[in-house]
Structure 1
Amino acid sequence: MLISFIVFLSCFAIIGLSSAKFASKNKEDYYLAGRSVSAWLAGLSAVATNNSGYMFIGVIGYTYYAGLSAIWLMIGWIAGDLIASFYIHKKVQQQAKKTGAVSVMSLVSLWQGENFQLLRRLLAWTALLLMTAYAAAQFIAGSKALHVLLDWPIWMGAILVAVMVAAYCFAGGIRASIWTDAAQSFVMVAAMSILLFAAVQHIGGINQVITELRLVDGFFDLTPDGLIFDNQLGVIAFAIGWMFAGFSVVGQPHIMVRFIALDSKQNMRTMRMWYYLWFSIFYAMATCVGLLSRILLDNQASFDAELALPMMALELLPGWLVGLILAGIFAATLSTADSLVLSSSAAFSQDCLAKPVTNTKVIKIITLSITLLTLFVAMFAKQSVFSLVVFAWATLGCALAPMLIGLILGWRISQLQALIVVIASVATAMLWRQLDWHNQIYEGFAGIVVGVAVFYLSALKAVKSSGVANESN
């Protein structure tokens, strides 16, 4: 098992480190790979970055408890993500090329032809804090898998993730991340499909699986537990909330940077095909494995559901295939962690400071520092991978999605109004979670709706003020 894991991990390392041969010593190459990434590479990289340890560890753990109602997360998330790809992504790519922005935060601040420096810094510091927490969740996911399969202490697994992330980032920046993401995406799908097949065979086939799942009380109920409206209205609201979770992809700098880095000559449709094909297959398999884990592991006396996948692998597979599963989990965590660390580095070096950093040596030192900070957060984080990722994802979406929606629609506001939009949106999402309403409707729904409403009213006020000024003149 250990040998198999080391072999796969070494392959990823070689791919990532080899990207250094093609790297140029400038910040645009480090953060955007020279804006020359092909469509299929960008698509596979984006899906590997999206389908992180959250999928291998978090979703499977959630499905273990929630049952078939967890399917609303998949349906809502993919639908919202797809809507965003048609209305947001291409505009972001075009505008980023026009403005020369290397991050989503820079892009938003430059969109209207002015340089909203306070807005850029607010977005950058917000993104930096949240992406650090998000990356820490990936470190935790990788360390949990190593703890179960190799009996390593949690801290050792987190350090291994940090070392790999630092190596990728030092080697070739975003190019190393994208190249390894593409390879990792195949291993992730292979690992999940092997485990799914082995679990179904072990139980006795699909018919036996359905029979045993029906014996679990309420497991086939499509209505999630704890809804205030325990009917179709409650289910629809729950699903729509998670659709906003999918739409919140537009607020994830580590994913949107893939669209900014895309070669403009390549067809966005090709990238979309690779992305959603891989995304749909992987998410569906993860949900199915989560359902099967309830049959195979329901007799555990004390059980952390987020350890379901590695425990199933130990029970069902020979050692070398367990190594593949571990490599798949690690691939998922690394593909997201390195992207988040790079995006955090870009946020700090290009947007948080009064003057952007251009020296690549200094940029790499900043990247290393953020990796160490993320490792520290991971060591002391007390939340589950699922809750930590969902919170960071939602708040990032609320910080950036309302701004992108309003700007793409052509609404114009001042910098002060833009700051109010961001604060109102993020504060709403955080209050929603604090009141524990996120179990009813995803907090990103509330935050984005409030943010867009504030943006619209601000733009309307600006238009009226402009009209009054013209009349007086």
Structure 2
Amino acid sequence: MILSFIIFLGMFALVGVSSVLRSRGTKKDYYLASSSIPPSLVGLSAVATNNSGYMFIGVIGYTYATGFAAVWLMAGWILGDFLGSIFIHRKLREATQRTGEVSFAGVLSNWNGKQNLLLQRTIAVISLVFLLSYASAQLVAGSKALHVLFGWPNWAGATIGAVLVVLYCFSGGIRASIWTDGAQSVVMILAMATLLIIGVYSLGGMEKTIAEMGKVDGFLDLFPENLLLPGISGGILFAVGWAFAGVSVIGQPHVMVRFMTLSDTGKMRRARVWYYTWFTLFYVMSTGVGMLSRIYLQDPGSFDPELALPIMAVELLPPYLVGLVLAGIFAATMSTADSLVLSCSSALTHDLIPHKIEKPYLLKTGTAVITFAALGWALFNKQSVFSLVIMSWSGLASAFGPLLIYLSLGGKPGRIRALLAIFSGLAVALGWRILGWETTIYEGMPGILVGLAILYFPGKSTQTNKKPA
């Protein structure tokens, strides 16, 4: 088990380190790979970054507890993600080329050709806080898996993940991250497919598997019990809420920067084909494994549901395949963690420091500082991976999603209007969570809607082109 795990980790490290051979030693290359990445790698990297330890640990745990109704989360998320990508991704890539900026905050704040340092630094500070939180969740996810499978203390997995992230980022920046994402995406989908196939086979096939699930009270119900409205109306509202979670990907700097690295804007459709093919297949299998885990682990109160996948792997698989599953979990956490760390680093060295850093060794030093800050957060974290990721995801989406949508449709918001939309959307999302309403409707939905309402509210401080830019 340990041997196969180490072999896979060694492969990832080798892929990442080899990217140093293509490094050009510039800031644009470190943070955007000189906009030279082919569409296949852009798609696989973006989807591996999106489908992180949250999917292996968080979604599996959520499905274990919720049952078949978790399909609403899957359907809503994928549909919302797709709808958001139809016009946003291409516009962002065009704006990246037009502005010459290397960070998400830089592109948004300079979108219409006028520099706005206050807006840029505001976006950078919010990004830094929530992306650090998000990165810590990825390290926690990896540590949970190692704790279950090897009995290692929780700090061990988080530390190993942090060291590997630093190694990738020191080697080739975002190019190392994207190259390893490509390799990791293959291992992630193989690990999930292996567990799904063997799990169903061990129960005697699909028909018997479904029969076993039917024995768990309410497990095959189409709608969760705690919906805001009863029946199908509540289910639709629940799905629409999670569709906003899918749309929320446009507010995630660590994912959207992947599309900013594309070699040619005209190849965006090919990148999206790679992205959504892999995304749909992986999410379907993850939901299936989450449901299987309830059959194999029938005492919900005896363990942390977010540990369902690694525990089930130990029970079902031979040691070398357990190593594959663990490598898949670790691959997922690292593919997102290194992306988050690089986005934080760009916010720090490009957007926040008055004299923008250009020297490679200083960029890498900034990356190391961010990584170990995320590690410290992970070691003292008490929240679940699912809760921490959703909080970070919805916060970023509510802050930046409305502004990116508005800009992509040709809007030209004034500085005050843009800042008001950012802070109002963020405040509503956080307030929604504090009040405990996120269990009925995803908190990013009201946050995004409030931000859009402020940007589109009639007033002299905002000008909008008649035709989309």
TM range (shorter): over 0.9
Task: Quote how far apart the aligned CAs of 1:228 are.
Answer: 2.6
- Determine the structure 1 residue equivalent to 2:460: 462
- Determine the structure 1 residue equivalent to 2:143: 143
CA distance in 1, matches of 2:137, 2:376: 12
CA distance in 1, matches of 2:199, 2:49: 26
Q: Secondary structure at the match of 1:379?
A: helix
1:92 aligns with 2:113: no
Q: Describe the superposition over 1:114-158 as per-residue Cα deviations: whole angstroms up to 9, x where unpaired.
A: 111111111100010000000000000000000011111000111
Unaligned stretches of 5+ residues in structure 2: 465-469
Q: Describe the superposition over 1:235-274 as per-residue Cα deviations: whole angstroms up to 9, x where unpaired.
A: 1111011001000111111110011100016511111111
Q: How many residues align?
A: 464
- Determine the structure 1 residue equivalent to 2:347: 347
Q: Mapping of 1:25-424 within 5 angstroms? A: 25-264=25-264, 267-299=267-299, 302-424=302-424
Change (3 A) 1:463 1:159: closer
Q: Describe the superposition over 1:19-68 as per-residue Cα deviations: whole angstroms up to 9, x where unpaired.
A: 00110111000000010000001111111101100000000000000000
Q: Secondary structure at the match of 1:209?
A: helix
CA distance in 2, matches of 1:33, 1:60: 33
| 2:421 counterpart letter in structure 1 | V
CA distance in 1, matches of 2:205, 2:299: 20
Structure 1 length-normalised TM: 0.96
CA distance in 2, matches of 1:330, 1:322: 12
Structure 2 length-normalised TM: 0.97
CA contact (8 A) 2:413 2:463 kept: no
Unaligned stretches of 5+ residues in structure 1: 467-473
CA distance in 1, matches of 2:420, 2:346: 24
| 1:386 counterpart letter in structure 2 | F
- Determine the structure 2 residue equivalent to 1:4: 4
Superposed CA RMSD in Å reads 1.3
- Determine the structure 2 residue equivalent to 1:470: none
Task: Quote how far apart the aligned CAs of 1:465 are.
Answer: 10
CA distance in 2, matches of 1:349, 1:465: 32
| 1:247 counterpart letter in structure 2 | V
CA contact (8 A) 2:428 2:446 kept: yes
CA distance in 1, matches of 2:87, 2:225: 33
CA distance in 2, matches of 1:321, 1:29: 37
- Determine the structure 2 residue equivalent to 1:471: none
Task: Quote how far apart the aligned CAs of 1:380 are.
Answer: 0.6
| 2:460 counterpart letter in structure 1 | A
Q: Secondary structure at the match of 1:461?
A: coil
User: Percent identity between the aligned chains?
Assistant: 52
When structure 1 is superposed on structure 2, of 133-142 and 344-353 the one drifting more is 344-353
Q: Describe the superposition over 1:77-112 as per-residue Cα deviations: whole angstroms up to 9, x where unpaired.
A: 000110111120000001110011212211111012
Q: Secondary structure at the match of 1:424?
A: helix
Task: Quote how far apart the aligned CAs of 1:439 are.
Answer: 1.0
